[in-house]
Amino acid sequence: MKLLVSPINIEEANTCKLGGADIIDVKNPKEGSLGANFPWMISAVKKVAGSVPVSATIGDFNYKPGTASLAALGAAVAGAEYIKVGLYDIQTGEQALDMLTGIVRSVKDFDKNKKVVASGYSDYRRINSISPFELPSIGARAGVDVVMMDTGIKDGRSTFEFLEEQELVEFVSGAKDYGLQTAIAGTIKFDDIPSLRRISPDIIGVRGCVCGGDRNSTIKKELVERLKDLLA
């Protein structure tokens, strides 16, 4: 399992790199769970990251395929290798397919090696969003590379409070059947690692855990190292 860590600035990105993160995921929590940061921040993090791949979130979207496609291209041009969209206020498979098809086209026309990550939300019922379990089939049709789930509301409740381990196993195996990679995030804690080993997604995404439990605090190098060791 690769470790994705979400810094909010260059200092934290450097800490992620020093701590051994496999993917440095630029986001802006002020604008939501998958809030977009500025293109100049993505470019600056890319310089700090060196050979470590950079991911960038483009927002918790409603149904705006054109806006999302343009934002995705912006993240790709700024240097992100992984471009991650949150299907937040999306209720139907048709809407999700439109969104993802546009995003994939705009990113892959620019650089076919960049990866598109389609994120749903483990707390989809409380935010009235599409079920993340629909994403593997829709994502495969659209041509995304990774399907993911995170929590939409960052109130301390974890993905493991909204979904059973067996449901997460099914999410991962369903995506694999479509040839897609998977990522799981949402207030993951050190205690969740044994369960995550059984679920075995390709990537786990964290912030709060490596800030010492409070995602509004700052990322600590020793906690990134500890998590990386646990995943080894």
Is 34 within 8 Å of 60 (Cβ atoms)? Answer: yes
- Scan for tokens 């990251």, then name that residue: 49
- Please report the DSSP string for the chain in residue order: -EEEE--SSHHHHHHHHHHT-SEEEE--GGG-TT----HHHHHHHHHHHTTS-EEEEEEEEES-HHHHHHHHHHHHHHT-SEEEEEEEE--SHHHHHHHHHHHHHHHHHH-TTSEEEEEEETTHHHHT---GGGHHHHHHHHT-SEEEEE-SS-SS--HHHHS-HHHHHHHHHHHHHTT-EEEEESS--GGGHHHHHHH--SEEEESGGGGTS-TTS---HHHHHHHHHHH-
Mark whether 46 is an active-site residue: no
- Residue number with CB closer to ligand G3H (23 or 97): 23
Instruction: Determine, following the binding rule CB under 6 A, whether residue 215 of this chain makes contact with ligand G3H.
Output: yes
- Give yes or no: 84 in active site: yes
Contact track, ligand G3H, 165-204, x by CB under 6 A: --------------------xxxx----------------
Residue from 208, 219, 224, 227 touching ligand G3H (CB under 6 A): that is 208
Instruction: Give the Cα separation of 112 and 28 in Å (integer).
Output: 26
Which member of 16, 104, 205, 227 binds ligand G3H (CB under 6 A)? Answer: 205
Size of the site for ligand G3H (CB under 6 A): 15
**Catalytic hit among 17, 46, 84, 115:** 84
Interaction of residue 13 with ligand G3H, rule CB under 6 A: no
CA 116 from chain center: how many Å?
10
Site string for ligand G3H, 29-58 (x = CB under 6 A): ------------------------------
Min dist CB 125 to ligand G3H, Å, is 18
Q: Is 6 in the site for ligand G3H (CB under 6 A)?
A: yes
Residue closer to ligand G3H (CB basis): 46 or 215: 215
Residue 209, interface with ligand G3H (CB under 6 A)? yes
Q: Per rule CB under 6 A, is residue 144 in the interface with ligand G3H? A: no
Q: Which residue is nearest to ligand G3H (CB)?
A: 205
For binding to ligand G3H (CB under 6 A), which residues are involved? 4, 6, 25, 150-151, 185-188, 205-209, 215
For the annotated catalytic residues, the residue numbers are 27, 84
